Structure 1
Amino acid sequence: MVAKFNAIFVERIPEFKLVGVARGIDEGWTYLNEEAVDLILLDVYMTNENGLDLLMELRRKNHPVDVIVVSSANDRGSIQTALRFGAVDYLIKPFEFDRFQDALLRYKQTFQDMKKEAIQQEEVDRLFLTKGNSNKDVPKADLPLPKGITKETYIRVLREINKHSDWFSTNDLVEATGISRVSLRKYLQYLTNSDILLFDVDYQRTGRPLHQYKLTNQGYDYVVSVLKEEK
């Protein structure tokens, strides 16, 4: 299901564990029946077999495993079949590690969202790849920052935010960056107003309400592009 070369990529991404490499559909079903598998990286071209046949069979049997197609197949028919049968992403070989990592991190975020009993509209928008509340333009990576936002501190904040795939608080950033709470709020407000972050308030049973933040889908793309420019 995943070539050994791609297996190396998987092992470079935290919180993902490779269960096994299947050379054919029957061997793939063996892994599915014996192991707890959340995600398949599926090639269309398998030895004397079409990997999309496995995808279609999974859906006919209502199997809950998710699928990302990783293949050199770039024909319209293969891509349409993958879409119609619920593949969550499609990577055309050859591709760079950044694209591969992006696909898995997006899947991870979706997987975490779907564990919740109730999902907010912004999270539903992300799951269905819609813009939702994104009527504002996300800043481009090379645009100048507004007054009061320094580039050095901004990058430090973005680097730390990029480590969080789920909700985080101001306290999380204060502890990790050493930046004062007052200064961080200014940066978080700017990122929220720019639709890079979602904002929510957790009204806890005791103590003060907890302000929480989370990267939007387009916010994730923005942060990755900014940090890539800084390398």
Structure 2
Amino acid sequence: MNDDALTVLVVDDDYRVAAVHVGFVERVPGFRVVGTAHTAADAVSLAGSLHPDLILLDIYLPDGDGIQVARTLHSTPSSPAVIVISAASDVATVRQAVQLGAMHYLVKPFGFAALAERLEAFRHANQLISEWPDDATQDEVNRMFDLLRPVPAAASGEAGGRLAPTLQLIYDAVAHSDRSLSASEVAAIVGISRATAQRYLTRLEQTKAVKLELRYGSTGRPENRYSLAR
């Protein structure tokens, strides 16, 4: 079991749907499901005892709704991040979820790729927060918010077409290497800062041009390494 993985609580009233979402989460590197809940009461209780990093939260629950669960958790110290997963798509519900700080809102049914994009964006943002300086620049703040908005696979001509110059250099560095590379190694090859390399590698990963591998050492956080997506 990987103690460095981000922990997830899956909340859904349908046992079968919850099991599908658990399977989705466990396919994404760097995440581990620590519990499932099928009622609002269980969601609040398990969140309090398990302290997950993230909750996949359904809206329609037999003893309440996910909005109330999110409101309750939002008022607690170190409240978990929330991604809403629901068949509810009315404006009022979506607005309430946004007001309560939901990171993303996925309308059921959705496939693995849609959830994986949101989880990867959350993981990258969480890593950035762990390295956050005391006084962030506007560029660093922009990067944080950019990470929380997954890049569509066909966006900006970055998949299946010609890449922007810096992206092309970074892509070529990864493509021409006979092994996976870290952001620092890519930065040294291209001649840019590590932070810039990491930002563009994240974009390439989100467009499926490169793939992320987590390399675990004996101690400390896993190292992110990148190789060409085959």
Residue 15 (structure 1) aligned with residue 30 (structure 2): yes
Report the CA distance shift for 1:157/1:6 in structure 2 as closer, same or farther (over 3 A).
farther
Instruction: Tell whether the 8 Å contact from 1:41 to 1:69 is kept in structure 2 after alignment.
Output: yes
CA drift of 1:143 comes to: 3.0
Q: Residues of 2 paired with 1:67 and 1:146: CA distance?
A: 33
Alignment match, 2:117: 102
CA drift of 1:109 comes to: 1.0
Instruction: Tell whether the 8 Å contact from 1:10 to 1:18 is kept in structure 2 after alignment.
Output: yes
Q: Residues of 1 paired with 2:145 and 2:100: CA distance?
A: 15
Amino acid at match of 1:37: P
Q: Residues of 1 paired with 2:203 and 2:28: CA distance?
A: 20
Alignment match, 1:128: 145
Q: Residues of 1 paired with 2:201 and 2:102: CA distance?
A: 18
Q: Residues of 2 paired with 1:219 and 1:58: CA distance?
A: 31
Report the CA distance shift for 1:227/1:94 in structure 2 as closer, same or farther (over 3 A).
farther
CA drift of 1:120 comes to: 4.7
Q: Residues of 2 paired with 1:48 and 1:100: CA distance?
A: 26
CA drift of 1:60 comes to: 3.1
Q: Residues of 1 paired with 2:30 and 2:37: CA distance?
A: 21
Q: Higher strand fraction: Structure 1 or Structure 2?
A: 2
Worse overlay, 107-116 or 120-129: 120-129
RMSD (CA atoms):
3.7
CA drift of 1:82 comes to: 0.7
Amino acid at match of 2:140: E
Deviations 1:155-212 (A, max 9, x none): 7269x88x86xxx212xx59xxxxxx7xxx3xx46xxxxxxxxx426xxxxxxxxx87
Instruction: Tell whether the 8 Å contact from 2:158 to 2:164 is kept in structure 1 after alignment.
Output: no
The TM-score with structure 2 as length reference comes to: 0.66
Instruction: Tell whether the 8 Å contact from 2:59 to 2:67 is kept in structure 1 after alignment.
Output: yes
Q: Taking every aligned residue pair, what percent have the same amino acid on both sides?
A: 24
Report the CA distance shift for 1:216/1:83 in structure 2 as closer, same or farther (over 3 A).
farther
The TM-score with structure 1 as length reference comes to: 0.65
Q: Aligned pair count?
A: 186
Report the CA distance shift for 1:68/1:30 in structure 2 as closer, same or farther (over 3 A).
same
SS at match of 1:6: helix
Unpaired runs of at least 5, structure 1:
131-136, 175-180, 190-198, 202-210
Q: Residues of 2 paired with 1:49 and 1:58: CA distance?
A: 14
Amino acid at match of 1:30: S
**Matching residue within 54, 66, 84 for 2:99:** 84
Deviations 1:52-71 (A, max 9, x none): 11111222335421100011
Report the CA distance shift for 1:23/1:117 in structure 2 as closer, same or farther (over 3 A).
same
Instruction: Tell whether the 8 Å contact from 2:81 to 2:102 is kept in structure 1 after alignment.
Output: yes
Alignment match, 1:44: 59
Alignment match, 2:49: 34
CA drift of 1:219 comes to: 2.3
CA drift of 1:227 comes to: 5.9
> Who wins on radius of gyration, i.e. which is larger?
1
